[in-house]
Structure formats: C-alpha cells, structure tokens
Structure 1
Amino acid sequence: MANSPTGRGYAYAAAKSDVEAARFLIHAQGWADDAQIAAVRNQGYLPWLASQFDAAPTQGGWAWLASKGLKTPEIGVDNMVWQQLMASPDSLRKRLALALSEIFVVSANDINASWPEFAMAQYWDTLVDGASGNFRDLLEAITLNPAMGMYLNTRGNQKEDDDGRQPDENYAREVMQLMTIGLVQLEPNGQPRRSADGRPLPTYSQDDVSQLARVFTGYELDIDPSEMNAFAAPASGRRGVSNGWTTRPMRLMPTRHSTLAANFLGASVPAGTDGKTALRIALDTLFNHPNVGPFIGRQLIQRLVTSNPSPGYVGRVATVFADNGAGVRGDMRSVFAAVLLDNEARAPAGLSDPNFGRLREPMLRLVQWARTFKVGSATDTWKVGDTSAITNLGQSPLRSPSVFNFFRPGFVPPSTAIAVNRMVAPEFQLVSEASVCTYVNRMQAVISDGLAAGDLMPDYGAERRLALDASALVDRLNLLLCAGQLSTATVNVIKTALGTPEAASGESNRDNRIFAGILLVMGCPEYLVQK
C-alpha cells in the first residue's frame, strides 16, 4: 500500500466497541451501518482508511451523467451529486470531496454555458480525485477546470491593453483568500501572527492580488472546432451535441496572456515569461506558503469533526500537510488521516466536552438517512432535486449561494454563549426559526414516504424486525445515527413515546413506530450536534 495514508502513532488505533466504530465512520464518511462497523472493528482505523483509498475508483459523476444519455433534460447536476453521495460504493472519497467543495467553491447556480451539468460533474470528479491525491495537483486542476474558469472569470480573462483594460482579479483574490492562505498570517498551529501592537498581520496586499491576476490571463475553454455547435440551442431544448470540452482543462491562448512582470507573496515572475511557466511559479508559491497547512487543515477539521479544534490539533494536521512522514508535502490521504485519527478526534473526552463537535449540515443529515437505510432509486435517476429552498432543507450540494460557501468558517451566532466564549459555529449561519421547523416537517415526510414520489425508498427491514421491541429499536437507531451519543434521558423519552408493543402489532403500526423513532432521533439536539 505505497499510496496509503502514513501513520503517526495515533493513540486510538482501533475501535473497542461498535459505538466507537460508528463514531469514526460518521466522522469519516457521514454514516454507518452494520457491515461498515464490523469492517472498522476488524481492520482498525488506519487500515480501513487505507483500504478505502487504495480501492479502485468507482463511477464518477460525469460518467454517470453520460450513461443517462445526452438528451435527458430532466437529469442534471442535482441528480448526479445526490447519486454520488447516496449510492456510490466509494463513499469515503465522495464525502471528502463534499468537504473540499465547501472550500473550493463552484456553484451550479452560476455556471452559464452549454452543458453546465457536465461541467459541474467534471468539477465534482476533480474534487473526488483530489481527496486522495496531492494538494498541489488539486490546486492546478481546480485552477484550470472549466467550471471554475466560468465561475470566477478565469475563462476569457485577458491581459492589459492600451485602452485601460486590466486583468480580472476575481480568481487571484479568491484562490488566496479562500483556497490556500487566508487573510492573515498564521502560526503553524493556526493562531494569527500579530504585530507589536497586537493586530493580526495580513497575508497579502491589494498589489499582490493585482500582480497575481496577470498570471491567470489567456485561458479559454478547450473546445475543438467540431464542438463549436455546443453553443447552439436546437429546437429540442437541449444545447449542443458534444460536451467533450467539459472533460479537458482550459487551454492557454498565448496572445491573450499578460507577459508583464508579476511580483506577489515574495515571488517573482519575470517579464516575458510564458503562461505555463508563470502558472507553475504562482501555484508553487501558493502551495509552499506556510499558511496552507494550518489554513486548510483547520477547515477540514471543521467540516468533518469539530468547529473549534485546539491549536494543538490544527498544528498536528498542519505538520502532516508539510511532511507526511515520507518527505511529501500536501499528501491529502495523510492529511485526512491526521484529521480523522488525531487524539482530539478519537478520544472519548470530546463526548462530554460542551465545546467539542459541530452542527450537522442539513444535506449531510439527508445523505446519512439515505445511506443508513439503504435508499435506492427505482429508476436510477435520483430525483432528489435542488433542496436549497428554506421550505426544503435550506442547503443543497454544489449549490452554494456564493464563493464564500453556505457559511463562513469563522461565523459566530450573535448573542449566544458561543459568542461570549469567543468560539465559532459555522453551520449555525444556516439556522433560523423557519429552518428548524421546515427541516423536521421535511424529514417527517421523507422518512415515511421517501423521495421523488416514491422513486427513492428506504429499506427498513432490519428495523421492522425490532419494531415490537421499542428498546431494541431505539438502541439501534442511537448506534447507527448518533454513534450511541443520545443521553439516557433522551433515549427514555423516545422509548416512552413509541408506546406499547400492542401499538405496533399491525404492519402499518410497526412502520409508524419506525418512522416516529427515526424522526425523534434525527430531530433531537444530541443528534443535530455531532460529536
């Protein structure tokens, strides 16, 4: 397993119980079932991760879309990403790709070109590949990706001219601010570096942005002449007949690329440098910046484990980013292993620490329900749809409202104990009175009726076998959905609410008990805050 994540002597190497295995699985891939729990217990944490990373990649989003044919307008980016998250056997990489999609944001809401669904699917596949690759390769693939080019204006960005045109600065700014180094200089443990008067030191200046923007000029979609009709809109309503360009990186148009000198972040691109060399210098500079490890590491911890990791936790992940133990910088397998296997993530102390954990995002709750109860799509169309509306989930994968993601990593709910304690709670930026109510109402319907008018239905076979035993049923739901984290008081309330065995004697009554049990678990605070 030469490409397996490198071990660091983690104190918690294996699960000692089904509860510990379920907790690890929920951190790693967002869900757990009996087979996965058994695999983690048998293999240990790091070998299980290695086996997942070393397994051959499964069908990606672009290939899945293509398998549905090119003239199926009802199949789009939402169908693709829900299929990938709910049904792909490669669930670890797909969950990690979803975490990356909230850092390297491209939103399907703002891709205006022919074949936007295929462009987004290719972007999704780029993130999936990046989850088990090297950060430097991921950074370049993202920079040249057609969807990113259309989203942050790299596509069609041209050099300065005598009429006053200047290169678009959008990507240059966001690749620094959001995707690599952040706004302030960081210590190796993620804490801000400060000036003598205590102010955080900025990472870059406006001049850095303007100079770096010159590097990202001259790029255009790599469309072959035979594909030019992809920009036509035939009477069928389906645009074009060829979408091969969505699979290729953008190409450099040398005559549109700025050859002025560019000086940024202490690096220099000499005047007259060709575009490919300039790009290499720029991306190498960003990749090797000391901020990248703690900046990206902290956000990955927030997406998978806890909103307020200690400086020590961030520092340990950043150390692995800098060197995976074999002299390699940016090895994402080892970085994700460091996030998931750190003592702070695995220690039971976090379960009783009120400052540990994270609010589960609405889209992750739906994916967990689907995975836990083996939801299938009878037509293999996965018509979950865009769930962004506040009357739905208020969040939908690959549909962030802006480049800043669904929420900011430093969001602080105002007038709360979280604010008083100077902590953050990113996902709470999605929470309102309306979102709390609509989530419960939405899940009540989904749990009993499935999705897409019954096309996506769960398998509650294992739960039906326990329906006459409320205690056993709740214990199972507690394990699979909460990794055993419901308090005794909450468990007793739910068991009492499910009533007597006689109430579940008929098939309909048994199902209603199951529906009620799942809803009560997925609606309680101890589920919503994942530890």
Structure 2
Amino acid sequence: GEDVTLNAAMGYWLNTKGNQKENTATGRQPDENYSREVMQLMTIGLVELNPDGTEKLDGAGAKVDSYTQSDVSNLARVFTGYDFNQSQNQPTVVDGRTIPSTTFARLPMALTESRHSTLAATFLGTTIPANTPGPTALRIALDTLFNHPNVGPFFGKQMIQRLVTSNPSPAYVARVSAAFNNNGSGVRGDLGAVFAAILLDDEARGPQGLTQPAWGKLREPMVRFAQWARTFGLVSLADTWKIGDLSNPATQLGQSPLRSASVFNFFRPGYVPPSTALAASKSVAPEFQIVTESSVGGYLNYMQNAIRNGLGSDLQPAYTAELALVADAAALVARLNLLLCANQLSAATVAAIVAALNATPITAASNDSARRNRVAAAVLMVMASAEYLVQK
C-alpha cells in the first residue's frame, strides 16, 4: 500500500503530488482525490459488504455506505506534504543537449513535513492524533484500510472477475475472502494464498461452468494480444519492443496498457450490457463495456495483420512449432485449440476451421509464404471464435 501511495505516477495521477495541508488564511484544504479513490477503487468500495461479497442492508433494506464525506476529508490530511523526490536527479548531456533526469519517477515521493497537515484525522472509526509525523500517519491510515472487513470480498471478487468468471457465486467469493483474511497460518493479505484460492477453487476448475452460458469472462483485447505474443514467441529484433498505443477501437485493439480513459479503468466491474440476456438474468459482463461494432471489426483487422506480418519490421512471431504442422490442418488446429483455448473449442468450430484451411491445400511444393499464410489464417480463425473470446 505504501509503495503504491508514494509512487510518483500515482501521485501525479491522483493529485497526491504537491498536495498541501490546510491554510486557514486562504481557505485552502487538502486535495481529496486520492483519499476518496483509495477507498472507493482500491480497498473497500462504496458500500459495506458481507464476507461473500453481497451488499449489507440496513433495517430499511437500504445499502450501507462504507465511508462518509467526513472520512474522505479527514483521510486527505494524511496524504499532504508529498512531492517528487528530486534528490538523486542527474541530468545527462547528449550531443550538447541537456536531458532532464527522470530518476524521480522511479523513487517514492518525498515528504516535506512543513507541508503536511498536523491536524488530527478521524476516519473509519480510527483517529490519528494531531501532530503525528507524516510517515507514522501514513502507516496508520493504510493499516486501517487494510484491516477493514470489506477488503477481502471487495478485492477477492474483482480478482475472480479478472481471472475466472464475471459472475462468481457468493460462496466462491466467501472462500477467497476467507483466504485473504487468513492464509491458514494467521496471516492476513497473503496474495499467494488469495490467488491459489481463486485458481484452485472447485468452482474455477470444475466442469460445471463449461455448459453454463453465463459462466466465464470475455477476454480483454490486450490480454488476447499478450497471449498471442507469448504463445507464438514474439520477438523484438532490435530489442526495443515498440508496440505503441493500441487504443483506437476502429483500427487497433481499443485498449492499451496504462492508457485507460480514467481512474475507473477501462470498464466497471458491475457493468451490465443493456437489453441483453445478461441484463435479464441480472448478470454482469465488465469487459463488454469496451465492445462496440467498431471495436469488433477493429480487433479482427488489427490482429489479421499482426498475426501474419508482426508489428512493423521489428516485432515478429516465430510460429516454429506451428509451421512444422502446417501440412496437417487438423493437427495444427488441435495445437492451437490446446494453447489458446485449453481445448474448449467445440467439435463444430474445429471442423469449420479445418475445412476452411483445407480449401487451400499445402503441399511439398508450397513456398514459405503460403505456409505462413495457413498458420496465420488458423490462428486468426481461432482468435476470432466466440469460444476463444469467452474464456471458460
């Protein structure tokens, strides 16, 4: 938590950088951006949760807020006084030009105590006394958030959504939440135990989800791209890895690392596609928030070129094992089914892809371009199939 809070990029993005204590003469108050988002997005969420991730309700059946505006304002005092650490900057001279140092971007932000609020901070049932030193106040604040009962179900459910299924059962969430609360040895927040609980749970590994339409998750475009690159040995011939911004949904992936449009990420964990069967069943499908008619075509067109030609002249896939199977369409598709889909392609989809490949036979006389074309076509058809796009 402290590493994230004091990260220079986080400070820039959520206004902790340069955040100053209150000034009664001018009316200035600490910026509340990070204090709000560290609760809303990163730790406890907007409403109180049961251990199974369901929302707590009060006596009138209404949701219970997990924090108040007073909590936000008080917590904001803790995050004052921090700014970029410029102490190790060493500008570089290249061809007579002075290049500013970027060392500060790799260092935790530094505290200037004179800019840090000395007022008491009361939030979430905890009070940090007045005149508490900045580093101590920060540790108390982050420990308070870390030990909040919402963290296990809030974090656990979203990790299940990212890794396994958009709609986990409350029992599944409860098991993951329990692993967060106690790894079996009395340790809270052991992420190894949390991810083991997510990935090894019966609900994640059992066959029952394979036949349930609402089970699983849509693969994010950049996750598909990364899987393709890792699976087929993408290399940067110049060792520069200049992939660039892939955010354009009409011509690229509609998603690019570290380039979400807001602090709320690319999509909301509770997004429901309107006027769909998912909406009728009150199911969520977060990744569908970035799916449009344009993005569907953009993904296919971009990947068609990337799969066949790589990215420019530098980034090239190997396809070594696939080219060795290129003359046997069935064997080639079987390999792709295993590597990309964990053998989840239906027999009908496999047959359709094999038939399409066999329409252009590969023989001993086929040149390297024709062989690579067949591999690229097979990869594209698999990565365009619904059974690939929805991970189960």
What TM-score do the two structures reach when normalised by structure 2? 0.95
1:438 partner amino acid: G
Aligned counterparts of 1:434 and 1:504: Cα–Cα separation in 2: 38
SS in structure 1 of the partner of residue 127 of structure 2? strand
State the identity as a percent: 60
SS in structure 2 of the partner of residue 263 of structure 1? strand
Kindly state the Cα deviation for residue 454 of structure 1 after the two structures are TM-superposed.
Answer: 2.4
SS in structure 2 of the partner of residue 498 of structure 1? helix
Kindly state the Cα deviation for residue 500 of structure 1 after the two structures are TM-superposed.
Answer: 5.0
Aligned counterparts of 2:361 and 2:319: Cα–Cα separation in 1: 20
SS in structure 2 of the partner of residue 246 of structure 1? helix
Does residue 1:141 correspond to 2:3, yes or no?
A: yes
Aligned counterparts of 1:210 and 1:273: Cα–Cα separation in 2: 17
Kindly state the Cα deviation for residue 235 of structure 1 after the two structures are TM-superposed.
Answer: 7.9
Q: Which residues in structure 2 correspond to 1:280-299 (within 5 Å)? A: 280-299=139-158
Aligned counterparts of 2:94 and 2:260: Cα–Cα separation in 1: 27
Which residue in 2 is equivalent to 1:515?
376
Aligned counterparts of 1:475 and 1:299: Cα–Cα separation in 2: 32
Does residue 1:496 correspond to 2:358, yes or no?
A: no
Aligned counterparts of 1:329 and 1:524: Cα–Cα separation in 2: 41
Unaligned 5+ residue runs, structure 1? 1-138
Which residue in 1 is equivalent to 2:53?
190
Which residue in 2 is equivalent to 1:466?
325
Q: Which residues in structure 2 correspond to 1:41-56 (within 5 Å)? A: none
Does residue 1:214 correspond to 2:77, yes or no?
A: yes
Aligned with 1:157 (options 6, 19, 33):
19
Q: Which residues in structure 2 correspond to 1:31-180 (within 5 Å)? A: 139-161=1-23, 162-180=25-43
SS in structure 2 of the partner of residue 277 of structure 1? helix
CA contact (8 A) 2:326 2:362 kept: no
- CA offset digits 1:354-400 (Å, max 9, x no partner): 11100000001111111111111111111111111122110011111
Question: Number of paired residues?
Answer: 388
Which residue in 1 is equivalent to 2:287?
427
Aligned counterparts of 2:50 and 2:341: Cα–Cα separation in 1: 35
Kindly state the Cα deviation for residue 243 of structure 1 after the two structures are TM-superposed.
Answer: 2.9
Does residue 1:371 correspond to 2:233, yes or no?
A: no
2:322 partner amino acid: E
CA contact (8 A) 1:467 1:504 kept: no
Aligned counterparts of 2:216 and 2:74: Cα–Cα separation in 1: 40
SS in structure 2 of the partner of residue 272 of structure 1? coil
Q: Which residues in structure 2 correspond to 1:324-335 (within 5 Å)? A: 324-335=183-194
Aligned counterparts of 1:422 and 1:334: Cα–Cα separation in 2: 30
Aligned counterparts of 2:261 and 2:160: Cα–Cα separation in 1: 22
Which of structures 1 and 2 has the larger relative contact order (alpha carbons within 8 angstroms, sep 6+)? 1
Aligned counterparts of 2:91 and 2:193: Cα–Cα separation in 1: 44
2:122 partner amino acid: N
Aligned counterparts of 1:280 and 1:244: Cα–Cα separation in 2: 25
CA contact (8 A) 1:307 1:357 kept: yes
Spell out structure 1 runs of 4+ moving beyond 3 A: 232-236, 500-505
2:374 partner amino acid: R
Aligned counterparts of 1:141 and 1:239: Cα–Cα separation in 2: 27
Kindly state the Cα deviation for residue 273 of structure 1 after the two structures are TM-superposed.
Answer: 1.6
SS in structure 1 of the partner of residue 138 of structure 2? helix
CA RMSD of aligned residues (A): 1.8
Which residue in 1 is equivalent to 2:171?
312
2:193 partner amino acid: S
Bigger radius of gyration among the two? 2
Aligned with 2:111 (options 252, 264, 288):
252
SS in structure 2 of the partner of residue 268 of structure 1? strand
Unaligned 5+ residue runs, structure 2? none
CA contact (8 A) 1:468 1:501 kept: no
SS in structure 2 of the partner of residue 313 of structure 1? helix
